[in-house]
A and B are shown apart, each in its own frame.
Chain A
């Protein structure tokens, strides 16, 4: 566990040193919030739209996405370490391989707090409704932080498999697609055709519902457990992928 914390600490220290790699995960969700909340403000006039203000609908989605992009930066760090040869030194050291994965996941959870804090500030400036009171932020943080760890495990799996920064589009596209093929823009009952089917079975839909809870109404256990279950499922799946990629690396 000490090694995992040391690796996570190194990843956090790299933020100011390699700011250009982290800044997009802060800028992107702010831009998306402004663009979606501004351009699509009339969506709340659609029948049965669950939010009264567009920012209430979009800010949980962009916060979750910001968390995910912060998670992807840990995978990018692994790929960069491979290219510079630093990761090979990790592999030669007596650090347990599980600590390498756990350290990255821990770093992602800590890194996600930065975009989450920023987006809460944006939510306040944009006068979002915190209908769940002080509890509004609890499911939001759980969703964004959990999804950040999912994204970091996924991006680490890709980095361990391809061992190059050039695999970055594969890391980010998967996150982008998983979010936009859910209820990112519209609630499920206002989606139709193939996207309704995809969004219905996409676990990110449940995670976004968890994040949105406090902005759309009261925070309840009934409204929380499907999202927590979806997160657990995705965490297990991506952990398996990262572990398999690490095992593949050991056989190299």
Chain B
């Protein structure tokens, strides 16, 4: 347990010491939300658009999920930097438990995801955002986001372990960007049509965003929350599984 704690604390210290790695993850989603909400404000008048106070309230879920995915790149990037800088080799030659290397980075990503949710909520609340499910709803959302961030952090760690390159990890971000764009992140699914609606319906990101969004635009919805939690849990299992597999492969190589 001592090893896990020490490496998790190191990952968190790295985030605090290198704010340049997470500042884009904090600023980019907020900037995008500001522009989209301002431009799309009148679209809430469309028949069938969910009842919302503003487009900001509708798009808040997208902002935090974008931030969590963006922020989790930092975990993979840090691990790749350890590999490039030789620290990873030193860890391997020490009696540290191998899985602690992954757990440390994933814990850092989870904590970052949790605090990012509150940061985004705090900033947007200053501009009038109100979560209809109250602070308990935001707390539940932040726990789901922490789980998602841990999973995405795991996926990024697996990229780091497979490639050993920070550039490759950072270059993988657009792949997740596409997943967000091909979902109901920016518009309700019921107002879409044709093949795009079918794609967004099978995209798990849509169900995650809709589950989180339901807590922001309405009272606490256990069903929607369970769906969001299921997607986040699947991302966690996938991310940690992939990273452990990649670790095993790197150790064998």
Instruction: Name A residues whose Cβ lies closer than 8 Å to a Cβ of B.
Output: 24, 27, 31-32, 34-35, 37-43, 45-46, 169, 177, 180-181, 184-186, 190-195
Contact = CB atoms under 8 A, between A and B. Distances in A.
A226 to B, nearest CB: 21
B186 A193 contact: no
B91 interface: no
Contacts of B186: 35, 39-40
Given A39-B192, A42-B191, A185-B36, A34 B182 contact: yes
B192 A191 contact: no
A186 to B, nearest CB: 5
Nearest to B193: A41
A27 B177 CA distance: 12
Interface in B28-58: 35-36, 38-43, 45-48
A194 B37 CA distance: 11
Contact of B42 (A180, A184, A186): A186
B120 interface: no
B181 interface: yes
Contact of A39 (B24, B174, B178, B184): B184
B179 to A, nearest CB: 11
A192 B42 contact: yes
B46 A45 contact: yes
Contacts of B178: 31
Interface string B181-203: 11011110001111111011000
25 contacts: A27-B174, A31-B178, A34-B181, A34-B196, A35-B181, A37-B196, A38-B194, A39-B181, A39-B185, A39-B186, A40-B186, A40-B187, A42-B48, A42-B187, A42-B191, A43-B43, A46-B45, A46-B46, A169-B24, A190-B42, A191-B41, A191-B42, A192-B42, A195-B35, A195-B38
Contact of B182 (A35, A177, A181): A35
Contacts of A177: 35
Contacts, number: 78
A48 B194 CA distance: 23
Interface in B107-126: none
Q: Chain B CB within 10 Å — which of A37, A39, A42, A184 has the most?
A: A39
Q: Chain A CB within 10 Å — which of B36, B38, B181, B185 has the most?
A: B38
Contacts of B195: 38
Contacts of B174: 24, 27
- Closest 8 pairs between A and B when the two form their complex, measured CB to CB: A38-B196, A195-B38, A35-B181, A42-B191, A185-B39, A39-B187, A190-B42, A180-B35
A193 B24 CA distance: 26
B39 A31 contact: no
Contacts of A24: 174
A190 B186 CA distance: 17
Contacts of A40: 43, 186-187
A249 to B, nearest CB: 27
Q: Chain B CB within 10 Å — which of A27, A32, A177, A185 has the most?
A: A185
A211 to B, nearest CB: 18
Q: Chain A CB within 10 Å — which of B35, B177, B185 has the most?
A: B35
A38 B35 contact: no
Given A39-B196, A41-B193, A46 B42 contact: yes
B23 to A, nearest CB: 11
B193 A193 contact: no
